[in-house]
């Protein structure tokens, strides 16, 4: 199997997670198994790690990679990490975990897969789902979004998730074209985006379809909702002194993580004008990365994907 993905900020993530022999971990985003295998080596035969991925390709690749692995301490789960509590109960029962890692977004192998619709450079069916059987995982198809969502909604996601300045023009063009014929392939979508944006925008270093593709991928997979759903569950699953490491590649994801960590590191969440606390919220986290951690220069040179990565860590009190 030819699954290529270079793990981003692996050393930094491992330093923060600090896996020890016999400990229990969850890798919510298995991908090319980069983090999972390194953690599995450190926790040894008495430890266990659940490695989750929506993508069967990642799971099959991991099966192949660990077929000769010396310990049998990796449990693979072809699931959505938003179901982390259910998954953890199934394999670890009531046991709390020592660390959780999320390395969000998509892997290089998924982007390079000719049969998937993630890349604007390859013509493929318009399906940007991480899991292949979308209905099993509650994902929407990209084709459905592009052909059925109202123009305003399309514009909103292209602007917000893609940070695309020509969102209005792109959404308008999509609606205009789909009225003539359904849009079924990534190639057709790229043509439409090219028709929508002004000429100067087509000659930029970044392809003019990049941001729209990113927006549609985030919407197709409910990426922000999944992140919002998994974080509160992760707090409950961690043992005292257990750590959560999140690597994000998009400012909206990073904001969700930052705000959640801040909220969970405060005792009371009542509005400032309340004289007495009503919420009784107790802090559960100590934030270990007051400033976000970024990939070093050398890593960015060797793996350009790491340029946009932001790593944040919190520790359960």
Note whether 53 binds ligand SAM by CB under 6 A: yes
Looking at beta carbons only, is 5 or 173 nearer to ligand SAM?
5
Looking at beta carbons only, is 35 or 120 nearer to ligand SAM?
35
Nearest residue to ligand SAM on Cβ basis: 31
- CB of 236 vs ligand SAM, minimal distance in Å: 18
- CB of 215 vs ligand SAM, minimal distance in Å: 16
Note whether 315 binds ligand SAM by CB under 6 A: no
| Pairing relationship of beta strands 48-52 and 24-27 according to DSSP bridges | parallel
Range in contact with ligand SAM (rule: CB under 6 A) among 16-24, 42-50, 105-113, 287-295: 105-113
Intra-chain end-to-end CA distance of the chain, in Å: 42
Looking at beta carbons only, is 23 or 29 nearer to ligand SAM?
29
Alpha-carbon span 183 to 285, nearest angstrom? 46
Number of residues forming the site for ligand SAM (CB under 6 A): 22
Note whether 264 binds ligand SAM by CB under 6 A: no
User: Residues 205-234 vs ligand SAM: string with x where CB under 6 A?
Assistant: ---------------------x--------
Where do the H-state alpha helices sit in the chain? 10-17, 34-43, 56-65, 84-92, 108-112, 134-137, 142-148, 151-160, 167-180, 186-196, 199-202, 210-220, 223-237, 251-264, 297-302
Contact 245, 17 (CB under 8 A): yes
Note whether 19 binds ligand SAM by CB under 6 A: no
DSSP 307: G
Question: Which of 281, 291, 279 lies closest to 317 in space, CA to CA?
Answer: 281
**Residue 282, class by beta-carbon neighbours within 10 Å (0-12 exposed, 13-18 middle, 19+ buried)?**
exposed
**Could you list the residues that contact ligand SAM (CB under 6 A)?**
5, 7, 29, 31-35, 52-55, 58, 80-82, 103, 105-107, 130, 226
């Amino acid at each position: 199997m030819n699954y290529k993905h270079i793990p981003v900020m692996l050393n930094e993530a491992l330093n923060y997670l600090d896996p020890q022999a016999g400990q229990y971990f969850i890798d919510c985003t298995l991908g090319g198994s980069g983090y999972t295998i390194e953690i599995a080596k450190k926790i040894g035969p008495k430890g266990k790690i659940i490695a989750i991925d929506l993508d069967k390709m990642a799971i099959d690749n991991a099966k192949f990679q660990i077929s000769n692995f010396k310990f049998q301490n990796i449990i693979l789960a072809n699931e959505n990490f938003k179901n982390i509590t259910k998954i953890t109960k199934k394999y670890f029962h009531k046991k709390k975990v020592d660390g959780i890692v999320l390395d969000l977004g998509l892997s290089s192998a998924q982007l390079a897969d000719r049969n998937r619709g993630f890349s604007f450079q390859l013509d493929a069916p318009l399906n940007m789902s991480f899991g292949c059987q979308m209905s099993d995982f509650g994902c929407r198809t990209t084709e459905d979004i592009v052909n059925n969502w109202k123009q305003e909604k399309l514009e909103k996601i292209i602007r917000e998730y893609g940070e695309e300045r020509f969102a209005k023009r792109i959404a308008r063009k999509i609606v205009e074209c789909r009225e003539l014929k359904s849009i079924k392939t990534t190639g057709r979508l790229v043509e439409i985006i090219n028709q929508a944006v002004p000429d100067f925008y087509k000659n930029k270093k970044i392809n003019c379809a990049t941001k729209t593709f990113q927006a549609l991928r985030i919407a197709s997979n409910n990426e922000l909702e999944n992140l919002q759903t998994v974080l509160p569950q992760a707090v409950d699953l961690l043992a005292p002194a257990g750590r959560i490491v999140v690597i994000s590649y998009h400012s909206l994801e990073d904001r969700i993580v930052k705000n959640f960590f801040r909220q969970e590191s405060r005792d009371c969440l009542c509005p400032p004008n309340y004289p007495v606390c009503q919420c009784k919220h107790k802090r559960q986290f100590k934030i270990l990365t007051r400033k976000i951690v970024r990939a070093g220069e050398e890593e960015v040179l060797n793996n350009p994907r790491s340029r946009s990565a932001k790593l944040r860590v919190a520790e359960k009190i």
